[in-house]
Amino acid sequence: QVQLVESGGGLVQAGDSLRLSCSARGRTFGYAMGWFRQAPGKEREFVAAINYSGGTTRYVDSVKGRFTISRDNAKNTNYLQMNSLKPEDTAVYYCTSGSTVDTVATMRPQFGSWGQGTQVTVSS
């Protein structure tokens, strides 16, 4: 079992940057971590994932080149650096973990561990 707490969301203008953080407690050693987002009226979608060593990452096509996921295992924290934000990035962002990057990328909302979410709003 793992407990996840997200932070770093906020209201920004298009083109701005934000860095989200996800602090983990519990079973974290060896686990991949990642981010999903859910906009109003839409399903939760995968955004990015990173394996335990940090050597493997995966992104949804819409954020490639703009978002970067990283992690600091000494702090049990992973980060999502979001640059060149667009209004369509507006959503609640959730952190999750899984055994592999593939597991994280295909995580269903009703399974696994999730944080409470952090709101990101990008104005045009």
Band (pLDDT 50/70/90 cuts) for residue 53 is very high
Do residues 19 and 81 make contact, with C-beta atoms less than 8 angstroms apart? yes
Band (pLDDT 50/70/90 cuts) for residue 27 is confident
| Per-residue pLDDT, 58 | 98
| Per-residue pLDDT, 29 | 87
Q: Report how far residue 4's alpha carbon sits from residue 43's, in angstroms, rounded to the nearest whole number.
A: 21
Ramachandran bin of 63, using left for φ above 0, alpha for ψ from -120 to 50, beta for the remaining angles: alpha
Q: Report how far residue 38's alpha carbon sits from residue 26's, in angstroms, rounded to the nearest whole number.
A: 25
| Per-residue pLDDT, 28 | 84
Average pLDDT over residues 52-81: 97
SS (H, E, C) 100-114: CHHHHHCCCCCCCCE
Band (pLDDT 50/70/90 cuts) for residue 107 is very high
Do residues 111 and 98 make contact, with C-beta atoms less than 8 angstroms apart? no
What's the chain's average pLDDT?
96
Which is more confidently placed, 1 or 34?
34
Average pLDDT over residues 33-39: 97
| Per-residue pLDDT, 22 | 97
Average pLDDT over residues 13-29: 94
